[in-house]
Amino acid sequence: AALLHLLEDPAKESLEQSYQYIDDGILLIEDGHIVALGEYRDLSTQLDDSVVTDMSGKLIVPGFIDTHIHYPQTRIIGAYGDQLLDWLNNYTFPEECRFADRQYAEEVAEEFFDQLVMNGTTTALVFGTVHKHSVDVFFTEAEKRNLRMIGGKVLMDRNAPDALLDTPETGYEDSKALIDTWHNKGRLSYAVTPRFAPTSTDDQLALAGKLLREYPDVYLHTHLSENQNEIEWVQALFPDSKNYLDVYDRHGLVKPRAVFAHGVHVCDDQCGRLAETGAAIAFCPTSNLFLGSGLFPLEHIEKQGVKVGVGTDVGAGTSFSMIETMSEAYKIMQLQGKKLNPLKSLYQITLGGAKALYLDDKIGNFTAGKEADFVVLDLQATDLLSVRMKNCQSVEEKLFVLMTLGDERVVSQTYSMGSPIYSRDS
Ligand code: GUN
Ligand code: FE
């Protein structure tokens, strides 16, 4: 197969030095880890034919990394008419109430993971609901499929329906118990997950900070500066805070392994703080368009040294596909008079995401020693793609067309730790 190995951020390094493309390549895997990649003619001589899987005509890329998604919102994608705060009240909270039923949560978790692997996503940072068992269900399903996943229970002690509220103390205790059960179990990690500033009191955020001090390698996952009405509300609820990020910062939540979804409207002050602490923003293109939240200034934010991953943000996002998500990212950049190179797009949903999550020692590209999570792409998956590809010369051009026209149909197979976990034609 053809192999595309990403080495560096194409926006920082020269484009040519940011990747390695091998037209007739081979990936050597042992015990679920990458051993080497190279030219088929060089490496195949060392191997017995029986252990080689032929994928001629396909393109192999690293597994996709979704740095912000809500599994409980799988069944509300495409909810009509509202921007963020009304969308939460009218669609999201009623659906999340259904997760009080463990069996309902189990059904949706299974649907969610089916969608992820069908789209080539092998790692994600995932919201549960306020219910502790929503996270047990999530990790149980992730473990079954041997995926590297990060998740957490929502903390929410005000401004939501009573059925979805915890208290600072129960939120703390439940999170602690989940961390003790799941964090660093195999490929799983825990994220302390206050929903966003408006639905937590200072007391709750303080206890979230306490958890992070007690478990320094646990993640922090929340939302930040997504929508203008939301931002005004945060300012009214926390009149003493300098800005939105400061609400979290005061409680020690801005740190390495903290991921803030959206950040569409963050000022340079907040960027400076994100950059110096090593926290990341999850850019969520389809969600920002669908909820009318705004155009994320990717270049401006990255220039200030902020780590950026990409998220689908399902169910405000409209697709599980990281490929479709980058097609929308391209359009968001176009509306701001900027370009988004397709190699940069692929970098963002693989190695860039891994760096945002501090997982680039384990996943994100094909460096020897990393876990062998990868996706086998079919550049001729649809009639239109086949026709259009005839006109493509460079790998860059093919990748761009793939992202512009592609969806889950381009994912032939998804591999986790060197084993197939999804195949499109079976
Ligand atoms: N802000 C607070 N909760 C949510 C959510 O569920 N989705 C999005 N997009 N933004 C949020
Ligand atoms: Fe979200």
Total domain count, the chain:
2
Residues 73, 181 share a domain: yes
Residues 381, 263 share a domain: no
Contact 148, 123 (CB under 8 A): yes
Determine the distance separating the centroid of ligand 2 and the alpha carbon of 35, expressed in angstroms: 36
Domain final residue pick, 356, 379, 403: 356
Could you give the 3-state DSSP secondary structure of residue 155? strand
The encoded tokens of residue 63 equal 């597994």
Q: Which domain holds residue 223?
A: 64-356
Q: Hey, which of 88, 97, 129, 221 would you mutate to test ligand 1's pocket, going by the most ligand atoms within 8 Å of its Cβ?
A: 88
> What lines the ligand 1 site, CB under 6 Å?
70, 84, 88, 92, 195-196, 223, 226, 287, 313, 316
Residues 377, 332 share a domain: no
Residue nearest (by alpha carbon) to ligand 1 atom 7: 316
Determine the distance separating the centroid of ligand 2 and the alpha carbon of 316, expressed in angstroms: 7
Helices assigned H by DSSP within 62-201: 84-87, 93-97, 102-118, 132-144, 168-182
Residue with tokens 């992820």: 116
Residue 114: which of 343, 320, 355 has the closest Cα? 320
Contacts of 315 (CB under 8 A, 6+ apart): 70, 73, 74, 75, 76, 77, 79, 91, 92
Residues 164, 227 share a domain: yes
10 class by beta-carbon count within 10 Å (0-12 exposed, 13-18 middle, 19+ buried): buried
Give me the residues paired with residue 307 across strands.
280
ipTM confidence score: 0.99
Which residues are in the CB-under-5-Å shell of ion ligand 2? 261, 313
Residues 342, 305 share a domain: yes
Residues 272, 198 share a domain: yes
How many C-beta atoms lie closer than 10 Å to residue 80's C-beta? 7
Give me the residues paired with residue 65 across strands.
123
CATH number at residue 25: 2.30.40.10
Residues 142, 33 share a domain: no
Residues 166, 284 share a domain: yes
Determine the distance separating the centroid of ligand 2 and the alpha carbon of 8, expressed in angstroms: 28
Contacts of 65 (CB under 8 A, 6+ apart): 121, 122, 123, 124, 309, 310, 322, 349, 350, 353, 354, 357, 359, 363, 364
* Ligand showing the shortest atom-to-Cα distance for residue 261: 2
- From the alpha carbon of 293, which atom of ligand 1 is closest? 9
CATH number at residue 94: 3.20.20.140
Cis amide prior to 315 (ω within 30 degrees): yes
Determine the distance separating the centroid of ligand 1 and the alpha carbon of 260, expressed in angstroms: 11
Domain final residue pick, 305, 328, 356: 356
* Ligand showing the shortest atom-to-Cα distance for residue 282: 2
Determine the distance separating the centroid of ligand 2 and the alpha carbon of 291, expressed in angstroms: 11
Q: What is the pLDDT along the chain (426 residues), one digit of tens a residue?
A: 999 999 999 998 789 899 999 999 999 999 999 999 999 999 888 888 888 999 999 999 999 999 999 999 999 999 999 999 999 999 999 999 999 999 999 999 999 999 999 999 999 999 999 999 999 999 999 999 999 999 999 999 999 999 999 999 999 999 999 999 999 999 999 999 999 999 999 999 999 999 999 999 999 999 999 999 999 999 999 999 999 999 999 999 999 999 999 999 999 999 999 999 999 999 999 999 999 999 999 999 999 999 999 999 999 999 999 999 999 999 999 999 999 999 999 999 999 999 999 999 999 999 999 999 999 999 999 999 999 999 999 999 999 999 999 999 999 999 999 999 999 997
Domain final residue pick, 321, 356, 391: 356
Residues 164, 72 share a domain: yes
Residues 312, 163 share a domain: yes
Predicted structure pTM score:
0.98
Residues 86, 42 share a domain: no
Residues 80, 23 share a domain: no
